[in-house]
């Protein structure tokens, strides 16, 4: 197969401000890590949207299969005891 | 020459460099080899227009004749522009543009680093802002020099040809005259020999890494800083200033 | 049940699931099962959209070097850069469906993929930059706002980002027009002339009337498209007429008048002959735009090759360390 002359795809994750989660912004094309980072900077921070960038080769990302959603995600739905509202606290107890 | 006149000249030269370089980079818009690179080159052009605005506005203030940045950009003729010749050369291919950006951004990086210590508070502030921008231009240009030099035979040939053609225009960046000397005496202007030394070290190192041979200079072109340009500048101005000249009474 | 029947029933089951999801208003994500026709429609629409952004850089790019002030130059350059960025977001969104950018570009070059017809018109004067920003981007944003709620997740997310960024584009164009209308007689004439040339092509941007539009059915059912061509066109006309009046521009349509009963403006007939003539390749700039894009693509090939070759060399060097 011929090499795609538009270079490889990299997924871009941006942190909007220090301490925040990194959020997927989109993707860019680039041939190497440095280029990917620069292209992400020039594409996704034109309005000062970020304080930090991650780039990851697209093909390095493993995604779950939607067909497995029942097995992967449904079993967590009835584990109510994982949430603080499940517990009855004695009246008057503070800071808990 | 008064200090004001020297400072006017100093700001004008820096402003003109930024203006004419931004003009050339803006010509890449919708012409770059990859969409991402199109955005990158445009970002650099935008940085430079911003820098031109600051420096030309300040030049207008220093001159004291009530001229704005636009007056200076759009109402001066060929002999009154004081940018370096390397800024105005046509873009050529991508290798030529990158090699020029490399030579100029490395120079600007060391120059503005020094200008941060200027006794003139406006120039000091412009330098601090500009330094962040040119640091990135330098990184981007350096990476591309390495890719083109170490890429294919064709890219190496092209970037070597660009470096050879541009080399004799690199010397003008470090020229100084009476105006510079006057300002240097009062700690406003940058002392150029150390800038030149650092430029030489960095450039040679990158060219070596990139597999590009360093040309030998038997002559360095000069003239732009004193308003004696290549034929290309006139065409830039006739295009850039067209509306302002054709409709002198209009504001836009 | 034989094998064929079984596949049929699996197919039907898949389609039912998919349409239920759409009905609930859930977004469709890249790895979800989707009908082939949905995927095809999306690729066609997103790539046409992406190509439009990128080709649209050309008519405006034509004026960067001649922008009449540093401020105007800066704004125009930033706007065109945004358009490149928007093209990029949309190519990215299309790529999530397994089609490469290279493939999309080759479809553009072969004529299989289209771009918005509006960019086959020339940007002749500085006022055209105003008209493009105000009218063309104004029309585009009406469509794009509607597409923020499109059913395909990556497309919708790209549109949200695009709409946020586009908000200054129309103002930029309108500001140019307003300034010119306050200026000299030459400037006013230039502005009106641009209005005259760009008004009708802008209305055509929304595509044929609903009664004539071949793709609307499935696209609406599957919520790729959220409003019809005529609805969006009407929305654009209604908001633009007042803006023209405020700055003293005349809309070049003698039949344009407010219809109290409908609560909308009525407009004169659109020249669909012109629309089909331009779309079939005989617009003033079709050839120029494609030649430009092909030339740039071809001229950039050695650069992209060099970048790939450099990466391969570096990887090899690492292996031998």
**pLDDT tens string C116-141:** 999 999 999 999 999 999 999 999 99
More confident residue, A79 or A33: A33
Q: pLDDT confidence of A67, banded at 50, 70, 90?
A: confident
Domains within chain B, CATH numbers bracketed: 3-246 (1.20.1260.10)
Cβ separation A6–C311 shorter than 8 A:
no
Where in chain A are the domains?
8-86
Mean pLDDT of chain B: 98
Identify the contact set of chain A against chain C, taking CB-CB distances under 8 A: 3-7, 9, 26-29, 31-32, 35, 43, 46-47, 63-67
Query: What pLDDT score was predicted for residue A1?
Result: 37
Q: pLDDT confidence of C291, banded at 50, 70, 90?
A: very high
Lowest mean pLDDT among A42-56, A61-75, C246-260: A61-75
User: Using CA atoms, how far apart are residues C251 and A3, in angstroms rounded to an integer?
Assistant: 51
Residue B111 pLDDT greater than 90, yes or no? yes
Residues C202 and C318 placed together within one structural domain of the fold = no
Question: Does residue C2 lie in a domain region?
Answer: no
- Chain A contact for C101, CB < 8 A? yes
CB atoms within 10 A of CB A89: 9
Cβ separation B26–C77 shorter than 8 A:
yes
User: Using CA atoms, how far apart are residues B57 and B51, in angstroms rounded to an integer?
Assistant: 10
Q: Residues B60, B62, B68, CA angle at the centre, nearest 5°?
A: 10
Taking a C-beta distance cutoff of 8 angstroms, is the pair C63, C129 a contact?
yes
pLDDT-above-90 percentage for chain C: 86
Query: What pLDDT score was predicted for residue C219?
Result: 83
Question: Does residue C10 lie in a domain region?
Answer: no
Per CB-CB distance under 8 Å, the chain C contacts of B45 are: 77
Per CB-CB distance under 8 Å, the chain A contacts of C95 are: 9, 27
Find, among C238, C144, B219, C98, the residue nearest to A9 by Cα. Answer: C98
Residue to test with chain C: of A1, A3, A6, most C Cβ within 10 A: A6
Q: Write the residue in B26, B73, B236 that is nearest to C64 by C-beta.
A: B26
Query: What pLDDT score was predicted for residue A48?
Result: 84
Question: Does residue C3 lie in a domain region?
Answer: no
Q: What is the mean predicted confidence (pLDDT) over B34-44?
A: 97
Q: Read out DSSP for C279-313?
A: IIIISSSHHHHHHHHHHHHHHHHHHHHHHHHHHHH
Per-residue pLDDT reduced to its tens digit, B43-96: 999 999 999 999 999 999 999 999 999 999 999 999 999 999 999 999 999 999
Which positions ≥6 away from C14 have C-beta within 8 Å?
Answer: C33, C35
Query: What pLDDT score was predicted for residue C214?
Result: 65
Residue C2 pLDDT greater than 80, yes or no? no
Mean pLDDT of chain C: 94
Per-residue pLDDT reduced to its tens digit, B194-247: 999 999 999 999 999 999 999 998 899 999 999 999 999 999 999 999 999 999
Homologous superfamily of the A8-86 domain (CATH):
Phenylacetic acid degradation B (3.10.20.520)
Residue A74 pLDDT greater than 90, yes or no? no
Query: What pLDDT score was predicted for residue C211?
Result: 86
Q: What is the mean predicted confidence (pLDDT) over C240-253?
A: 97
Residues C255 and C296 placed together within one structural domain of the fold = no
User: Using CA atoms, how far apart are residues B54 and A70, in angstroms rounded to an integer?
Assistant: 60
User: Using CA atoms, how far apart are residues C44 and B104, in angstroms rounded to an integer?
Assistant: 43
Per-residue pLDDT reduced to its tens digit, C92-102: 999 999 999 99
Per-residue pLDDT reduced to its tens digit, C149-181: 999 999 999 999 999 998 899 999 999 999 999
Per CB-CB distance under 8 Å, the chain C contacts of A29 are: 101
Question: Does residue C295 lie in a domain region?
Answer: yes
Query: What pLDDT score was predicted for residue C1?
Result: 57
Residue-number span of the structural domain to which C318 is assigned: 285-321
- Chain A contact for B140, CB < 8 A? yes
Residues C111 and C189 placed together within one structural domain of the fold = yes
- Chain A contact for B43, CB < 8 A? yes
Tokens of B59: 């030049």
What CATH number is given to the structural domain containing C244? Answer: 1.20.1260.10
Total number of domains constituting chain C: 2
Residues C289 and C199 placed together within one structural domain of the fold = no
Query: What pLDDT score was predicted for residue A2?
Result: 47
Query: What pLDDT score was predicted for residue B134?
Result: 98
Which chain B residues in 186-215 lie under 8 Å from chain C, judged by CB atoms?
A: none
Residues C201 and C311 placed together within one structural domain of the fold = no
Strands (DSSP E) contained in chain C are 257-259, 264-266
Residue to test with chain A: of C304, C310, C312, most A Cβ within 10 A: C304
Lowest mean pLDDT among B159-168, C29-38, C208-217: C208-217
User: Using CA atoms, how far apart are residues B182 and C117, in angstroms rounded to an integer?
Assistant: 59
Q: What is the mean predicted confidence (pLDDT) over C289-305?
A: 97
Question: Does residue C109 lie in a domain region?
Answer: yes
Query: What pLDDT score was predicted for residue C166?
Result: 87
Query: What pLDDT score was predicted for residue A68?
Result: 87
Question: Does residue C26 lie in a domain region?
Answer: no
Residue to test with chain C: of A4, A14, A24, A26, most C Cβ within 10 A: A26
User: Using CA atoms, how far apart are residues B97 and B165, in angstroms rounded to an integer?
Assistant: 12
Q: Which helix (H) or strand (E) holds C37?
A: helix C36-55
Per CB-CB distance under 8 Å, the chain C contacts of B15 are: none
Per-residue pLDDT reduced to its tens digit, C75-120: 999 999 999 999 999 999 999 999 999 999 999 999 999 999 999 9
- Chain B contact for A49, CB < 8 A? no
Residues C233 and C85 placed together within one structural domain of the fold = yes
Question: Does residue C107 lie in a domain region?
Answer: yes
pLDDT-above-70 percentage for chain B: 100
Question: Does residue C178 lie in a domain region?
Answer: yes
């Amino acid at each position: 197969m011929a090499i795609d002359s538009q270079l490889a795809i990299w997924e871009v994750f941006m942190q909007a401000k220090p301490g925040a989660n990194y959020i997927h912004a989109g993707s860019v094309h680039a041939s190497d890590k440095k280029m990917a980072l620069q292209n992400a900077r020039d594409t996704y921070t034109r309005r000062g949207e970020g304080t930090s960038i991650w780039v990851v080769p697209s093909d390095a990302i493993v995604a779950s299969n939607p067909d497995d959603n029942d097995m992967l995600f449904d079993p967590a739905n009835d584990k109510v005891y994982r949430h603080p509202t499940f517990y009855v606290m004695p009246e008057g107890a503070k800071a808990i | 020459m008064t200090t004001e006149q020297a400072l006017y000249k100093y700001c004008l030269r820096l402003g003109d460099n930024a203006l004419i370089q931004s003009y050339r980079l803006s010509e890449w818009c919708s012409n770059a080899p990859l969409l991402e690179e199109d955005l990158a080159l445009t970002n650099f052009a935008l940085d430079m227009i911003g820098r031109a605005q600051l420096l030309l506005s300040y030049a207008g203030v220093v001159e004291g004749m009530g001229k704005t940045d636009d007056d200076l950009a759009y109402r001066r003729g060929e002999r009154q522009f004081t940018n370096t010749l390397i800024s105005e050369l046509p873009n050529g291919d991508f290798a030529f543009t990158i090699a020029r950006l490399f030579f100029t951004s490395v120079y600007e990086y060391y120059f503005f680093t020094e200008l941060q210590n200027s006794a003139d508070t406006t120039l000091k502030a412009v330098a601090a802002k500009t330094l962040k921008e040119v640091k990135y231009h330098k990184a981007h240009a350096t990476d591309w020099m390495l890719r083109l030099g170490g890429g294919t035979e064709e890219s190496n040939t092209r970037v070597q040809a660009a470096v050879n053609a541009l080399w004799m225009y690199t010397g003008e960046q470090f020229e100084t005259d009476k105006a510079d000397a006057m300002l240097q005496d009062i700690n406003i202007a940058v002392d150029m020999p150390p800038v030149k030394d650092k430029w030489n070290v960095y450039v040679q190192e990158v060219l070596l890494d990139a597999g590009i041979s360093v040309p030998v200079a038997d002559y360095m072109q000069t003239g732009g800083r004193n308003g004696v340009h290549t034929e290309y500048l006139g065409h830039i101005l006739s295009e850039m200033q067209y509306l302002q000249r054709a409709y002198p009474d209009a504001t836009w | 049940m034989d094998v064929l029947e079984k596949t049929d029933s699996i197919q039907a089951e898949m389609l039912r699931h998919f349409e239920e999801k759409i009905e609930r208003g859930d977004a469709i994500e890249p790895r979800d099962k989707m009908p082939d026709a949905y995927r095809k429609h999306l690729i066609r629409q997103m790539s046409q959209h992406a190509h439009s952004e990128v080709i649209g850089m050309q008519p405006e790019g034509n004026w960067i070097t001649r922008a009449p002030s540093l401020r105007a130059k800066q704004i125009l350059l930033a706007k065109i850069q945004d358009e490149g960025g928007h093209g990029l977001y949309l190519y990215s969104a299309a790529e999530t469906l397994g089609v490469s950018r290279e493939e999309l570009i080759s479809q553009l070059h072969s004529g299989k993929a289209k771009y918005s017809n509006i960019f086959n018109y020339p940007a002749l004067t500085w006022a055209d930059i105003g008209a493009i920003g105000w009218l063309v981007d104004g029309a585009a944003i009406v469509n794009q706002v509607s597409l923020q709620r499109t059913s395909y997740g990556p497309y919708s997310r790209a549109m949200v980002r695009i709409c946020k960024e586009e908000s200054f584009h129309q103002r930029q164009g309108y500001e140019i027009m307003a300034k010119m209308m306050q200026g000299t007689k030459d400037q006013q004439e230039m502005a009106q002339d641009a209005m005259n040339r760009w008004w009708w092509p802008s209305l055509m941007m929304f595509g044929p009337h609903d009664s004539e539009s071949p793709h609307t059915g499935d696209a609406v059912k599957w919520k790729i498209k959220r409003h019809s061509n005529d609805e969006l066109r009407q929305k654009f006309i209604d908001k633009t007429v007042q803006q023209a009046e405020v700055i003293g521009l005349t809309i070049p349509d003698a039949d344009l008048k407010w219809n109290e009963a409908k609560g909308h403006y009525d407009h004169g007939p659109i020249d669909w002959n012109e629309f089909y003539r331009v779309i079939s390749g005989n617009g003033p700039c079709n050839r120029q735009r494609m030649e430009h894009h092909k030339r740039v693509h071809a001229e950039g090939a050695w650069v992209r090759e060099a970048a790939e070759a450099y990466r391969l060399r570096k990887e090899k060097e690492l292996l031998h360390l």
